[in-house]
Amino acid sequence: MTAVSLGVPGMPVRPVASRRESRLIQVGPVAVGGGAPVSVQSMTTTRTSDIGATLQQIAELTASGCQIVRVACPTQDDADALATIARKSQIPVIADIHFQPKYVFAAIEAGCAAVRVNPGNIKQFDDKVKEIAAAAKEHGTPIRIGVNAGSLDRRLLQKYGRATPEALVESALWEASLFEEHGFRDIKISVKHNDPVVMIEAYRQLAAQSDYPLHLGVTEAGPAFQGTIKSAVAFGALLSQGIGDTIRVSLSAPPAEEVKVGIQILESLNLRQRRLEIVSCPSCGRAQVDVYKLAEEVTAGLTGMEVPLRVAVMGCVVNGPGEAREADLGVASGNGKGQIFVKGEVIKTVPESKIVETLIEEAMKIAEQMEQDGVAAGEPAVTVS
């Protein structure tokens, strides 16, 4: 067998764009803005007052790669649970507050890493800003001003007629200015809309008018397929211009799915080191093997592998050798056989029936070497070339 030099993969060669300069805030141990890596967050779906279930879901989110988690706080029982959840969670917890200003104070007192407020629906929010700013400053708690199209301040709805980008931005900047009057700037902002076109424009305007770190989100993006597409398109448009410091993909699906999509978006834009990646062709009339089956079997065999390995599974000799050569490991199939490539070199040719087991065997060897070299972890991602 050919000896292969592996080496440690570096950070992404070329990120999609240089980042917009933004103010740095700390959400617990996670830096947001100021050039810090774009973080991925999600939100629990359990009743926050059910501490066990909420911590269990946070543990699952943490395992899926979630870096910041938000929990709803609609009742006093939920507010009472915050201190325990914030203390026991392995990732920073943000309390999500609507309607009741008293829960903002409860969340700050509970030691949450940040508090999200929705100025559009919190009662007499503007009158409370002085007290909120004082409490947040005392505890070192950042505030997210989270403006949503669905709960926009009535005054702005009347002014603009609907939730336009301008209305969303004016709402956010107005509330930020109230905090600024009290010397409080430990703020990040979101201006979410369910329409990616409106959302993109709102964030562009906001990015041009302030230096606060931005939390990106397409709100109520829909079920997994539609929500994934909407979020990928909107985040891609913004992140490719350097706009966005932390992201939350909103799906009508289990929250761990949101995290997987968010991570994949960042990896696709080279904003994060890519992890295990299966590059498989879509197949066509030239395919000489069942590419779907092969890709599925290889993916299943490598699931759980914790190294950034690129594996090419190609159906014929048109693009096969080229892609297989570019990957860490690959197969180019044809005439009932598979040429196995490792780091650009053909190491062997095996019958079709042995392709999957050979790829998995070689992947294990490379992974072992990568682990010895201390290369970072991850779940597999599938890319169709």
Q: Is residue 278 a contact point for ligand SF4 (CB under 6 A)?
A: no
d(CA 349, CA 331): 9
Q: Is residue 315 a contact point for ligand SF4 (CB under 6 A)?
A: yes
Nearest residue to 212 (alpha-carbon basis) of 34, 43, 83, 335: 34
With CB under 6 A as the contact rule, the residue among 9, 301, 308, 320 that binds ligand SF4 is: 320
Q: Is residue 298 a contact point for ligand SF4 (CB under 6 A)?
A: no
Q: Is residue 282 a contact point for ligand SF4 (CB under 6 A)?
A: yes
With CB under 6 A as the contact rule, the residue among 46, 84, 100, 319 that binds ligand SF4 is: 319
Nearest approach, Cβ of residue 319 and ligand SF4 (Å): 4
CA distances from 302 to 40, 296, 299, 369, 382 (A): 24, 10, 5, 15, 11
Nearest approach, Cβ of residue 318 and ligand SF4 (Å): 4
Q: Is residue 324 a contact point for ligand SF4 (CB under 6 A)?
A: no
Site string (78-117) toward ligand SF4, x via CB under 6 A:
----------------------------------------
Q: Which CB atom, from 123 or from 293, has the smaller least distance to ligand SF4?
A: 293
Q: Which CB atom, from 213 or from 330, has the smaller least distance to ligand SF4?
A: 330
Nearest approach, Cβ of residue 334 and ligand SF4 (Å): 9
From 77-85, 222-230, 256-264, 315-323, give the range in contact with ligand SF4 by CB under 6 A.
Answer: 315-323
Nearest approach, Cβ of residue 277 and ligand SF4 (Å): 17
With CB under 6 A as the contact rule, the residue among 239, 313, 314, 366 that binds ligand SF4 is: 314
With CB under 6 A as the contact rule, the residue among 73, 316, 355, 356 that binds ligand SF4 is: 316
Residues forming contacts to ligand SF4 in the complex (CB under 6 A) are 281-284, 286-287, 314-316, 318-320
